[in-house]
Amino acid sequence: MNNNLILYAFLGGILPTIFWLLFWLKEDKLHPEPKKYIAYSFIFGIFSAILVLPAEEFLSQLVPGSGLLAIGVLASAEEIFKYFGAYFSALTKKYMDEPIDAVIYLITVALGFAALENSLFLISAIKTGGADLTRVLLVGNMRFIGATLLHTLCSGVIGLFIALSFYKRKVLKKRFLLFGLILSITLHTFFNFFIIKSGSGIFVVFLAIWVAIIIMILLLEKVKHMKRRIIQN
């Protein structure tokens, strides 16, 4: 295999996620997180993607096929691993000191996860499609539009529910987290299911993901205002 194409595959997996990460970091520009902790979370996301591979291999044998249940099992594994990546890298640390931080760190982990996943996908595309740079770039764009945004959306949903419960009692925080995880897994499952089954209608699915991302951005404004009201009072 051409070493240059392997390099392109890694760049094709990582660069779009860095671009997307910079966009999300602007949402926290008033009190930005330390760059080194953002880097830690991104790296933990990469490790989460590595660790989930054997788990997915086992689960694929346990629940084979491409039906809704099989897709849901794999989606559950990915969302849980991403959550724990954020948990160990940021959510329990002292620098997680305002509601929006939860969203930023969850999304950062998700983008690290997506970066490795995309790179592995592109390397696989090179192996099966030959040394065709155009194909690599095309597949890379599709992965950026689809999988990267989906990972961002689903982890962002968990972050939103953690943020909305930031000033609540511990028991309510657990309920919000559980609901966020369930909603995240549900979104991941159904979007993946429709991506697999949609065929030529895949762009409609991608459009739906974009709409969901926009809704999440609007909800982030609620988180910001909640923070300001509490600080002012």
Q: Which two tokens stand for residue 71?
A: 């897709």
Residue type, 93: K
Q: Where are the beta strands (DSSP E) in the chain?
A: none
Residue 230 pLDDT level (bands cut at 50, 70, 90): very low
Residue pair 187/157 in contact by the 8 Å Cβ criterion: yes
pLDDT in tens, 190-224: 998 988 887 666 788 888 999 999 999 999 988 88
Over residues 149-154, the mean pLDDT reads: 94
Question: Confidence band (pLDDT; 50, 70, 90) for 21?
Answer: very high
Give the pLDDT score at 233. 39
Q: Residue 27 carries which DSSP code?
A: G
What's the mean pLDDT in 67-79? 96
Q: Give the Cα separation of 15 and 186 in Å (integer).
A: 28
**Rounded CA separation 174/178 (Å):** 6
pLDDT interval class at 48 (50, 70, 90):
very high
DSSP string, 89-121: IIITSTT--SHHHHHHHHHHHHHHHHHHHHHHH
137 band by pLDDT with thresholds 50, 70 and 90: low
Per-residue confidence (pLDDT) for residue 184, from 0 to 100: 98
Residue 178 CB neighbour total at 10 angstroms? 11
pLDDT, position 183: 97
- The yes-or-no verdict on residue 112 having pLDDT over 50 is yes
Given a cut of 60, is residue 92 above it in pLDDT? yes
Mean pLDDT taken over the chain: 86
144 or 191, which is more confident: 191
Which range scores top for mean pLDDT: 20-34, 122-136, 169-183?
A: 169-183
